[in-house]
Chains A and B, each alone.
Chain A
Amino acid sequence: MSTSKKTTAALNDEDMHALFNDVHVSIPPSLDQAILNAAHDAVHQEIPGQKESTHWSPSWAQGLSAAAVVVLGVILVPMIISSPESSLNPTEKELAAIQTAPSENSRAPDLAADSSAASSSGTLATAPSTANEVITNEVPNEVAYEALTDRVNDSKDEATTKTVAEMESSDEPSAPSVSPEFAVRSAVAPRVEHSVAEKALIDQAAGIDEDAFATKASKSAANTLLPEQVEISELSEPAKFRQSANLWIEEILRLVQANDMDKARDEYVLFNLSYPNHDRVSELPEDVIR
């Protein structure tokens, strides 16, 4: 600062300072007004128009983006559709339509007939297991169990009879041929798959001479039920007592006390298969054991 003052003093310009100090020039008021209006207008116009400046994108970038979307669409979509893992695979699609048939029984024969004409046997072999997934989810095991016991005692159940007859006549239960009957079986499958398996066991336990049928039926059950499904059916609520011999015996005793002797006998048969010569069997009434 002192240097600056020295320099100024050296310039000997005090008269120049005095000449320009305190000089006021009048600015036209209209000029002030025009400038301030312009400044305010510029700001107020910028706020709605600001997006335009921030959204700057060259035209080639927009074109490139559009082209990229089109190319990806053209290349990737067919790849995804034709992928074997894709749910959009046409064959899988048809099968899914057949497998969800329980509520669409009237459509099933047509679809089955169509698929038999169009699909290979390898693809069709996957149908039963997939169908069982649907069945397991849709039919609670408690209901299935009750249906089983009812059906065991009720020989007039047409669906079961028909299915059992088919199973008896079929040499390859795990790979059923696609026919109009397939749709019917899909329709009754929630009950059938369980009833076939368990009826076979019951019949075998009762000494009924249906060995061939029982073999086929157990094979069928083993083939159609996935491991996860077996586990689920065993651990599900109604079969919980079967996990323990004591609980099972108590359940049979409960059924006896409830005077539900048929169910008690059925449970005893199954119990005896799982726990042959169990000590607590002696606690059961003679009517049940017999």
Chain B
Amino acid sequence: MTVKPDSISEPDDDNVLMLAYAAGDAPSFDALYLRYRQPLYQFVLHGCSNPAHAAEIFQDIWTSVIDARTSFQDKGTFKSWLYRIARNRLIDFYRKTSNKGLDEFDENTVQEQVTTLEVPLNPMELAELNNDRERVQSAIHALPWRQRDAVILKYIAGFSLAEISQEQGDPVETVKSRLRYAYTRLRQQLRAPS
């Protein structure tokens, strides 16, 4: 059962596909999986920074989707539903593997000595980092949970600030400042000698 992207039509609405799958149409799942497998796997991989754990969590997320197919409702978007499941799995993983709390070192709870005026990465630095993805993953993994969550939601899952705000339950301005802190931390870590 190999997924052939060319053979699968992609309807606009993910919800339609999910509802069709819930009604028993297996090819609809194939289409959804094809659409989300890469960003979701990246999301998970950057969330846990461990390929072995990422594969396990990735499979667990899709199993949850399969099991909960009949409870899926056409109220929200499939994307939000899928990434909510993914975030919950990552939070569980974070709690199991980290001795830090979710809110620890968050910009809202701890006054961090980081500047938000860090200079952006230049093209040469970016080219180097593209060849060293593990370094990027480590830098992301070093972020406090909420910052990490905001970054991967924004740049990997493609969520807007409003959507991140809704998912995290915080105001948009809080999310924005959280992201600024995250950029600064990432830039500092990625510039630092390995």
Q: Are the C-beta atoms of B161 and A4 separated by less than 8 Å?
A: yes
Is B114 an interface residue when CB atoms closer than 8 A count as contact? no
Q: Are the C-beta atoms of B58 and A31 separated by less than 8 Å?
A: yes
Q: Are the C-beta atoms of A19 and B42 separated by less than 8 Å?
A: no
Q: Are the C-beta atoms of A34 and B59 separated by less than 8 Å?
A: yes
In chain B, residues 50-101, which have Cβ atoms closer than 8 Å to a Cβ of chain A? 55, 58-59, 62-63, 66-67, 69
Is B186 an interface residue when CB atoms closer than 8 A count as contact? yes
Is A46 an interface residue when CB atoms closer than 8 A count as contact? yes
Q: When A36-B1, A36-B29, A38-B62 are in contact, do A15 and B121 touch as well, CB less than 8 Å?
A: yes
Q: Are the C-beta atoms of A19 and B126 separated by less than 8 Å?
A: yes
Q: Are the C-beta atoms of A20 and B21 separated by less than 8 Å?
A: no
Is B41 an interface residue when CB atoms closer than 8 A count as contact? yes
Least CB distance, B54 to chain A, in whole angstroms:
8
Return the contact of A42 from the options B66, B126, B155, B186 (Cβ within 8 A): B66
Q: Are the C-beta atoms of A42 and B69 separated by less than 8 Å?
A: yes
Name the residue of chain A whose CB is nearest to the CB of B120: A15
In chain A, residues 34-62, which have Cβ atoms closer than 8 Å to a Cβ of chain B? 34-40, 42-44, 46-47
Q: When A4-B160, A27-B38 are in contact, do A39 and B121 touch as well, CB less than 8 Å?
A: no
Is A24 an interface residue when CB atoms closer than 8 A count as contact? yes
CA distance A155 to B5 in the complex (A): 106
Q: Are the C-beta atoms of B30 and A35 separated by less than 8 Å?
A: no
Is B3 an interface residue when CB atoms closer than 8 A count as contact? yes
Least CB distance, A272 to chain B, in whole angstroms:
88
Question: What number of B residues sit within 8 Å (CB to CB) of A?
Answer: 44
CA distance A18 to B179 in the complex (A): 16
**Contact indicator per residue, chain B 1-32, by CB within 8 Å of chain A (1) or not (0):** 11100000000000000000100111001100
Least CB distance, B128 to chain A, in whole angstroms:
11
Q: Are the C-beta atoms of A17 and B41 separated by less than 8 Å?
A: no
Instruction: Tell me which residues across on chain B come within 8 A of A10, comparing CB atoms.
Output: 176
CA distance A25 to B41 in the complex (A): 8
Q: When A4-B161, A11-B183, A38-B66 are in contact, do A25 and B1 touch as well, CB less than 8 Å?
A: no
Is A171 an interface residue when CB atoms closer than 8 A count as contact? no
Name the residue of chain B whose CB is nearest to the CB of A11: B179
Is A7 an interface residue when CB atoms closer than 8 A count as contact? yes
Instruction: Tell me which residues across on chain B come within 8 A of A33, comparing CB atoms.
Output: 1-2
Question: What number of A residues sit within 8 Å (CB to CB) of B?
Answer: 33
Least CB distance, B67 to chain A, in whole angstroms:
8
Return the contact of A20 from the options B24, B26, B62, B155 (Cβ within 8 A): B155
Is A120 an interface residue when CB atoms closer than 8 A count as contact? no
CA distance A20 to B160 in the complex (A): 15
Instruction: Tell me which residues across on chain A come within 8 A of B125, comparing CB atoms.
Output: 15
Is B142 an interface residue when CB atoms closer than 8 A count as contact? no
Q: When A11-B179, A17-B155 are in contact, do A39 and B33 touch as well, CB less than 8 Å?
A: yes
Is A138 an interface residue when CB atoms closer than 8 A count as contact? no
Is A287 an interface residue when CB atoms closer than 8 A count as contact? no
CA distance A46 to B29 in the complex (A): 15
Instruction: Tell me which residues across on chain A come within 8 A of B42, comparing CB atoms.
Output: 23, 25
Least CB distance, B148 to chain A, in whole angstroms:
13
Q: Are the C-beta atoms of B179 and A38 separated by less than 8 Å?
A: no
CA distance A143 to B26 in the complex (A): 77
21 residue pairs A–B, Cβ–Cβ below 8 Å: A11-B183, A12-B183, A13-B120, A13-B183, A15-B120, A19-B121, A20-B155, A25-B41, A27-B55, A27-B58, A31-B55, A31-B58, A31-B59, A33-B1, A35-B59, A36-B33, A39-B26, A39-B62, A40-B26, A42-B67, A43-B24
Question: A11-B179, A23-B130 given. 6 additional CB < 8 A pairs?
Answer: A19-B155, A25-B41, A25-B42, A27-B55, A39-B30, A43-B21
